[in-house]
Amino acid sequence: MKVAELTKSLVYGAAPEAAKPALDWIAEHNGRFQLFINNEWKNPSGKEWFDSTNPATGRKLGSIAQATSTDVNAAVKAARKAYPSWSATPGHIRARYLYAIARQIQKHARLFAVLETIDNGKPIRETRDIDIPLVARHFYYHAGWAQLMDKELPDHQAIGVVAQIIPWNFPLLMLSWKIAPAIAMGNTVVLKPAEFTSLTALLFAEICASVGLPPGVVNIITGDGRTGGAMVDHPDVDKIAFTGSTDVGRIIRKATAGTHKKLSLELGGKSPFMVFDDADLDSAVEGVVDAIWFNQGQVCCAGSRLLVQEGVADKMVKKLRARMEKLRVGDPLDKAVDIGAIVAPVQLKQIQALVKLGADEGATMWQPSWAAECAKREGCFYPPTLFTNVAPASTIAQVEIFGPVLAAMTFRTPEEAVKLANNSRYGLAASIWSEDINLALDLATQVKAGTVWINSTNQFDAASGFGGYRESGFGREGGREGLFEYIKRKPAKEVKAPVSKGVSSQKAATSRASAGVSLSMAPAIDRTAKMFIGGKQARPDGGLSINVYGPAVGKSRNLIGEVGAGNRKDIRNAVEAARAAAAGWAKATAHNRAQVIYFLAENLAARTDEFARRITQQTGFSANAAHAEVDAAIEQLFTAAAWADKYDGRIHGVPQRNVTLAVPEPMGTVAILMPDDYPLLALAALAAPAFAMGNALVIVPSPAHPLSATDLYQVLETSDVPHGTINIVTGNRDELAKTLSEHDDIDSIWYAGPTPGQAAVQKASAANMKRTFVMDASGALPNLDDVLREATQVKNIWVPYGA
């Protein structure tokens, strides 16, 4: 027999990794795992335990403690107690702890990998070569940020006690994404792993104790959704970091609304994998294998929608089927296995149900010839599955299956590819395959996703941020951008005031005292100001108006004007105009956006006296203070214009042979409900940066002082502001906020108002997971850096290089 023939007939022998080290570790604990609180192991107060099983065999591995709300309380208390000294620990010392943890993970890499594989069912090849090395990398990388924090983030400090809830698909990796940045920045944490996969988190807890991490800095408590719920509801938690399903993310968004708890959500996805006719198809096929069969497809950013250009679709599908035929499903501890076990029977049933639905809805299902063997194995196994003839609106094209199931569709042109790619409520990741780098980069900017991989897929690194657009959640994990999830600005007195020029609260208060004088300037009742929608002044739909009064003088208040009472229809029109204008404005060059804002500033400056008078009339500020506010607003416009072409992205230093571009992109359509103080300056400080970053706006002026905004119409009309990019609707703030926060075409909502109003906005925004930025109706305006960050979201584009 010739060697060539021999290689064709060779069969795989078993190449199992021994489970023994992990089983020994479990045995050392008598198969029973307590809660890790304050560096001590504690029994659950409710005396309830649940089983952890090996999904590849169905056999029980151990008993895990079910933490009650009493236990959650104890963990939060320990974290709170540890917080002052941990956050005050010098960055260098914190760096050394993170470094020590990284070293210990590397030293125990084999134990971690085997334990993860038997607990989760994922192939040892993945835990050994991907999960665990990336975990160590996360701790090393963030050790670096702990070291650099004082120098690089001098205006920031830790947030406090962070509750972290993670899913089962990358148990230890998700833990590292959460814990490493949190403790590097000086926070203390309470983390709950998923019920199915608690074991590696508990081994990690032992590592924390072994390196001498101070008690209370990291607390690991186990339990199901009830424990997660108690963590979310705990009043002494300052931040919730959650990774999991969009449904649970929505519950958490609602539960934390109005509580001032900082929130980051990493949720589900339905990521497109786009193949163009000039792509290297063999590489693309390997890409698909990594995109949808990595971790049995139980990956939030799995490339689960294959979009292929029509001319190569048949060829691609043929190659793919041939490759699928050769994939190996089996014992996850076998080093030559490609696809391991599905995490649990309930998940397997869900996959089976969705596959059946896919076939029932008319798509063509294909599985390799050996597929039936999966069902015969003990444990939970499912074969790689390909659907063709998939309708873009069908369930399997829209719903996250979270299994090894690929839905293939075709497109003709790049435009159609983008439309199909964006035809999803999610926006986590995308993969673009083409030898034409110009085309690939062009499409990378158009696809709505937090990460875009060019001619590659499922690339991760601690140095690159990861997170979603749209209903895939908000916040980033990894990279410099991820640090901001775990820090907050130091109190104002410790840093330079952002917009102090001439308008400090004190000065304003003094100038209000002179209200009597200024009021004499008030004209008779003004005309009713209209709305500004789509570049035109529009009457309020309901035809109603609201009186606007000047400041109180004794018991009386002067009527100084009327504005339209906007209603749902006005908001609908404004949002429609903003949505239609958003794409064009986002595509305008940064230079062009800056020019428009400079022009606005110039036209405002020409009317300084008029705007100052209006400020005085509304607020009672002295003429001097009002002039100072107009000057400050003009300066803010200049600052916003300056940032338009300087708010650069970064190139992350990932270890792969890749250029990873972290690009800040506009949010899209942003609704801004203005604060009451400084009616003109607030517009310049909030709306101008949002506009400069390429967003289209729907602005609701402060109901107390709306006239500075309505006076702006003429300035807007003469400043080349593209129609629809700035829309202004006056009216009752909370009524309009409700409509705006429920509107699916608003991507982000900024609300200044009382706490119940903030809560209502955050709760309602959960429907399409829009970003929220809330602040008080009066007081200092937010720092410009924070405004710019809220106005953008970072997309990481991975471009490989090398011949």
Q: Which is nearer to ligand NDP, 166 or 737 (CB)?
A: 166
Contact 329, 381 (CB under 8 A): yes
Residues 137-196 that bind ligand NDP (CB under 6 A): 165-169, 192, 194-195
Shortest Å distance, C-beta 473 to ligand NDP: 6
Distances (CA, A) of 431 to 4, 447, 459: 35, 10, 10
Q: Which is nearer to ligand NDP, 54 or 603 (CB)?
A: 54
Q: Which residue, among 538, 559, 539, 530, has the nearest Cα to 547 in the 3D structure?
A: 559
Q: Of these, 48, 224, 361, 635, which contacts ligand NDP (CB under 6 A)? A: 224
Give the count of alpha carbons within 13 A of 333, CB side only.
18
H-only helix segments in 108-235: 109-120, 124-126, 132-152, 171-184, 199-210, 225-233
Q: Using CA atoms, how far apart are residues 165 and 216, in angstroms rounded to an integer?
A: 17
Q: Of these, 16, 144, 225, 258, which contacts ligand NDP (CB under 6 A)? A: 225
Shortest Å distance, C-beta 656 to ligand NDP: 19
Start-to-end CA distance of the chain, whole Å, equals: 37
Which x/- pattern, by CB under 6 A, does the window 236-275 give for ligand NDP? -------xxx--x--x--------------xxxx------
Contact 161, 84 (CB under 8 A): no
Q: Of these, 74, 158, 232, 716, which contacts ligand NDP (CB under 6 A)? A: 232
Contact between 403 and ligand NDP per CB under 6 A: no
Shortest Å distance, C-beta 226 to ligand NDP: 8
Q: Which stretch binds ligand NDP (CB under 6 A): 16-24, 69-77, 226-234, 714-722?
A: 226-234
Q: Which is nearer to ligand NDP, 251 or 336 (CB)?
A: 251
Strands of the sheet with 748-752, listed across from one edge: 536-538, 531-533, 726-728, 696-700, 669-673, 748-752, 771-775
Contact between 402 and ligand NDP per CB under 6 A: yes
Contact between 287 and ligand NDP per CB under 6 A: no
Task: Report how many residues bind ligand NDP under the rule CB under 6 A.
Answer: 27
Contact between 229 and ligand NDP per CB under 6 A: yes
Q: Using CA atoms, how far apart are residues 122 and 339, in angstroms rounded to an integer?
A: 7
Q: Using CA atoms, how far apart are residues 435 and 276, in angstroms rounded to an integer?
A: 8
Which x/- pattern, by CB under 6 A, does the window 417-446 give for ligand NDP? -----------x------------------
* β-strand partners of 272: 305
Q: Which is nearer to ligand NDP, 168 or 647 (CB)?
A: 168
Q: Which is nearer to ligand NDP, 66 or 748 (CB)?
A: 66
Q: Can you list the positions of beta strands (E) in 229-373? A: 239-243, 262-266, 272-275, 305-309, 364-366
Q: Using CA atoms, how far apart are residues 616 and 621, in angstroms rounded to an integer?
A: 5
Shortest Å distance, C-beta 270 to ligand NDP: 9
Instruction: Read off the tokens for 118.
Output: 């038997």
Contact 567, 740 (CB under 8 A): no
- Give the position of tokens 């005396």: 47
Shortest Å distance, C-beta 168 to ligand NDP: 5
Q: Using CA atoms, how far apart are residues 98 and 107, in angstroms rounded to an integer?
A: 14
Backbone angles phi, psi at 137, to 5 degrees: -60, -40
Shortest Å distance, C-beta 232 to ligand NDP: 5
Q: Which of 17, 116, 208, 300 is catalytic?
A: 300
Number of H helices, E strands in the chain: 31, 33
Q: Which is nearer to ligand NDP, 56 or 248 (CB)?
A: 248
Shortest Å distance, C-beta 400 to ligand NDP: 5
Shortest Å distance, C-beta 561 to ligand NDP: 48
Q: Which stretch binds ligand NDP (CB under 6 A): 97-105, 228-236, 304-312, 314-322?
A: 228-236
Q: Of these, 300, 548, 712, 736, which contacts ligand NDP (CB under 6 A)? A: 300
Q: Which is nearer to ligand NDP, 123 or 498 (CB)?
A: 123
Q: Which is nearer to ligand NDP, 255 or 515 (CB)?
A: 255
Q: Using CA atoms, how far apart are residues 415 and 423, in angstroms rounded to an integer?
A: 12
Residues 96-115 that bind ligand NDP (CB under 6 A): none
The string over 146-168, giving b where at least 16 C-beta atoms fall within 10 Å of a residue's C-beta and e elsewhere, is: bbbbeeebeebbbbbbbbbbbbb
Q: Which residue, among 74, 231, 238, has the nearest Cα to 165 in the 3D structure?
A: 231
H-only helix segments in 606-706: 608-619, 623-644, 679-682, 688-692
Q: Which is nearer to ligand NDP, 198 or 394 (CB)?
A: 198
Residues 191-220 that bind ligand NDP (CB under 6 A): 192, 194-195
Shortest Å distance, C-beta 249 to ligand NDP: 7
Residue nearest to ligand NDP (CB): 228
| Residue 300 bears catalytic tag | yes
| Residue 116 bears catalytic tag | no
Q: Using CA atoms, how far apart are residues 80 and 118, in angstroms rounded to an integer?
A: 34
Q: Which is nearer to ligand NDP, 187 or 198 (CB)?
A: 198
Q: Which helix (H) or strand (E) holds 537?
A: strand 536-538
Contact between 122 and ligand NDP per CB under 6 A: no
Shortest Å distance, C-beta 230 to ligand NDP: 8
Q: Using CA atoms, how far apart are residues 653 and 642, in angstroms rounded to an integer?
A: 27
Contact 698, 669 (CB under 8 A): yes
Q: Using CA atoms, how far apart are residues 192 and 175, in angstroms rounded to an integer?
A: 9
- Give the position of tokens 């829009």: 770
Q: Of these, 238, 400, 461, 576, which contacts ligand NDP (CB under 6 A)? A: 400
Q: Which is nearer to ligand NDP, 149 or 237 (CB)?
A: 237
Instruction: Read off the tokens for 473.
Output: 């959640």
Q: Which of 17, 266, 400, 629 is catalytic?
A: 266
H-only helix segments in 37-90: 69-88
Residues carrying an active site annotation: 266, 300
Residues that bind ligand NDP (CB under 6 A): 165-169, 192, 194-195, 224-225, 228-229, 232, 243-245, 248, 251, 266-269, 300, 400, 402, 428, 473
